[in-house]
């Protein structure tokens, strides 16, 4: 399925504490991908906890697509503003944008 929210990222100043909180409060699984990022499991939707220097300012919904370039064109045509150009990450490629109401989101495509 394309163009569906399938991931949510939580920015944090303390990855270990945020991840431990989610695990203790809700029983969510945690998979560490280094000192700045943990993936969340069993949360109803996949997600992550991001402590990296370039993390977003607020919780961010991430949309999965089948065509990243086309999704970027549609975001721009609908009035969105690109806040971070397309970039590679371990799971694939993505870009960040702000919709007209101010929410920052991302669109990603899985690495083939």
C-alpha to C-alpha distance for 63 and 103, rounded to whole angstroms:
13
Q: The domain that contains 21 carries what CATH number?
A: 3.10.180.10
Domain encompassing residue 8: 4-110
- When divided into structural domains, the chain yields a total of 1
Please tell me whether residue 98 adopts helix, strand or coil conformation.
strand
pLDDT single digits (tens) 35-78: 999 999 999 999 999 999 999 999 999 999 999 999 999 999 99
Number of Cβ within 10 Å of residue 47's Cβ equals: 22
Give the dihedral sign, CA 27/29/32/38: negative
pLDDT of residue 1 exceeding 80, the answer is: no
pTM of the full structure: 0.90
pLDDT single digits (tens) 71-95: 999 999 999 999 999 999 988 999 9
C-alpha to C-alpha distance for 15 and 13, rounded to whole angstroms:
6
């Amino acid at each position: 399925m394309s163009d569906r929210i399938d991931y949510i990222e939580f920015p944090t100043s303390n990855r270990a504490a945020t991840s431990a909180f989610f695990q203790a409060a809700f029983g969510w699984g945690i998979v560490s991908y280094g000192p700045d990022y943990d993936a969340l499991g069993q949360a109803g939707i996949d997600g992550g906890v991001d402590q990296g220097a370039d993390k977003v300012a607020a919780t961010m919904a991430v949309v999965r697509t089948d065509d990243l370039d086309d999704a970027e064109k549609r975001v721009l045509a609908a009035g969105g503003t690109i806040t971070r150009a397309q970039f590679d990450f371990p799971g694939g490629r993505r870009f960040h944008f702000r919709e007209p109401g101010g929410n920052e989101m991302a669109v990603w495509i899985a690495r083939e």
